[in-house]
Structure 1
Amino acid sequence: MNLHSAAPRSDDRDGYLVSRRQAWFAFAMTFALMLFDYIDRQVIVSLFPHLKAAWGLSDMQLGSLVSIISIVVAAGGLPVALMADRVSRVKSIFVMATVWSLATISCMFARNFGQLFAARAIVGLGETGYGSVGGALIASLFPKRLRTTLLGAFFAAASLGSVLGVMLGGVVAAHWGWKAAFGVVGVPGLLLAFLYLLVPDYKTVELAPRVGHARHSVRSFARQIVSTLAGSPTVWWTCLGAALQLVVVSMIWSWLPSYFHRYHGAASDHAGMLAAVIVLCGAVGSVIWGVIADRLAVRRPRNKLVMMAILCTATLLVFVTAFGCTMSANLQFLLIALGGFLMMCTVAPTATVVLNVIHPGVRSTGAAILALFQNLFGLAVGPFVGGLLSDAFGLQVALAVMPAFGLFAALCFLLATRTYESELAKVEHIRLDVATSSTSPMTVSA
């Protein structure tokens, strides 16, 4: 089958790459691992009060325990995704999940801040590339018409995982101590890693047709990747906008339990529950905004970028009001919940925009560019800079100021609208085929 046919058949162009049963099994497993990715990542935020009491840590140090994961993920995301694109997405994900689960379990044996910080860095090493590789796999196995909706559900697992991580951390710490929380959340991910080997993969796609049987050199292959990724203004503006909005998201996710504990006098486990409700609102929002973006894009693809610009601005206004104005606790909680619902508006649409304009041969790598921006300039910034502002001016001021990043995100999305549709047309003719594997009982021959 020619993967580079200029005239693909219209009857299977937008269909499932594998059987529906296989595709949905792959989605379920990828979703489950994303869930535990963020359970393991976020369990620590509900343990902040315990760590502060046990080791006397500053807010900057506490924030760094969250930010270090995002920094490591950003640093390693591109090479890991490139390897996955060229070798095997499924086997790469198996290795990732095994590493981050074992590292999470090791956190329960840390005796000081340095040891815990190192263990958290290894958690990040394991999680490197997972979102981009998993997202690329889902986008390739399912029809294009379902991509934004399914990626919205996939990335909603990050919110759900954060909810469960915050809740479980607080409850386990209240009953068995804060160290036990790491063991409770680390083991299930390890089991899922082995089950993931049953997931089907798709064949690696050449970036350009070969001439005869000549092989591309490493240098020419690298040039093709650079030209494929660097020649897309849509990718760069979308990635930057996604990162800036995630500064807001990561700030809220990381510091809400501490905010409810310090300013409303909630016990640590109850504060975690309150924060989990807000994060759950975000999970619902990421799915709903993904569905809405899909429907808006039917009329015109750029509409999803306009939608994100509007919602990022709305998020800023809601959070500035919630944390900057005097009001009752109940009204403030409702406003924070509304902000939590709005702030996840970019998660699925930005992934779809990037995956839609990237050549399938480097789709995981293109998604890793997005993940690099999201982690290094988004998820890593919120907890750490928020901690610095909290140490200097107080946590409530920090929560009121940080959402301003969303205004810059909105501007980036508007700039991306100028080139999105023209770039989309350049890659619509490229077709994929399913990979075969002797180790998987769910294999389909091409």
Structure 2
Amino acid sequence: MRFLLSTIGSRGEVQPVVALAMELTARGQEVVVCAPPDFRAWAESWGIAYVPVGPELRGTAKQSAGAVPTPEQRRQMIEGTMAAQFAAVRGAAEGCDVIVGGGALAVAAHSVAEHRGIGYVHAAFAPITLPSAHHAPPVFGMLGQKPADGPVDHRRLWAEDAERWNTLWGAALGAQRGALGLPPLKDVRGHLFTDRPWLAADPTLAPWPRPSDLDVLQTGAWVLADNRPLAPELETFLDAGEPPVYCGFGSARAPENIAMTVIATARALGRRVILSSGWAGLTPVDDEPDCLSIGEVNQRALFPRVAAVVHHGGAGTTTAAAAAGTPQVVVPRMFDQFYFAHRVEHLGIGSAHPSSPPTGDSLLAALRHALDPEVSRRAGTIAGEVRADGAATAARRLIDMR
């Protein structure tokens, strides 16, 4: 069989799709990934066929956190990504039997599958992105949204979310579908997500709440089978003292001055720091030997050897830290990050920092809590429950669709 895995987003969307691609390839299937150009070289280094779609996204990690596009800018962005996705996905789908749309913004995948008369699966990477009476919709930064403060009517918010999808995406999606001879849609979100979506998230860390109106298949998180060794410089740093604190925000936008705040906080607690530069370009504040700056790294190899992980709350980083049994401090900024921050705190495996920018005092309190021996013990317990076979489970299910 031949599969097309389509996604739009940052590393948090692309890495699980590549993990699934590798599992399918290992089972003798043909796979092509269609995703932003930022990750092409990285995916191809794993031997994955890759079709880039849209512009590079890397610069978004350094944009102002308060920058909300105007309605006209938003319209242009939607029409632009819609046209780019339909062009790329249509070409990449040639000869495919099934298309997987990974994440909420893979808007062309289902329509192209419908046009070609082939199978389609929508895969979410966090429960909160799927409609449920048990939680509110995620927060979209591009819409200027903020987390709700106090009790809310979840069903009402999801109904409003459905209307928002129709208003923002309906016209552009209808135009692209019309060009393929497909009928317009009354429910854009329902069309993209379907009533039988897959959930690529760990059932211990991020369980699907029941009862549910959707028939959700939770496969487990799609974790990349990464066996790369750590760099010699990093090994030397780790061996030179007690486990350090890791800080990284991946391909997400980082809070202002977060590197300075984390380093000062860790030093106040007598801890060294490993600072992951990421897309935000985080750098040390001085040349002291207690701080090491790194780039791309195998989190599966690194996280078991650090004292705590300070991060943005992306699905991949949260899952990697949970699987390592390492306490976390989650500093959420948008979308599903607030959900994962809540789950980390609820499970007792770390701290959820408030959505406000971290200060020395607030981060000190959060990190001190995460480093508590009881939190570390609880993190170790939960680690034994986190599964690593999600991508394999999904691959088997896809192959069974023949």
TM-score (norm 1): 0.28
Greater fraction of residues in strand: 2
Greater fraction helix: 1
- Under a length normalisation based on structure 2, what TM-score does the superposition of the two structures give? 0.30
- Where relative contact order (Cα < 8 A, 6+ residues apart) is larger, the structure is 1
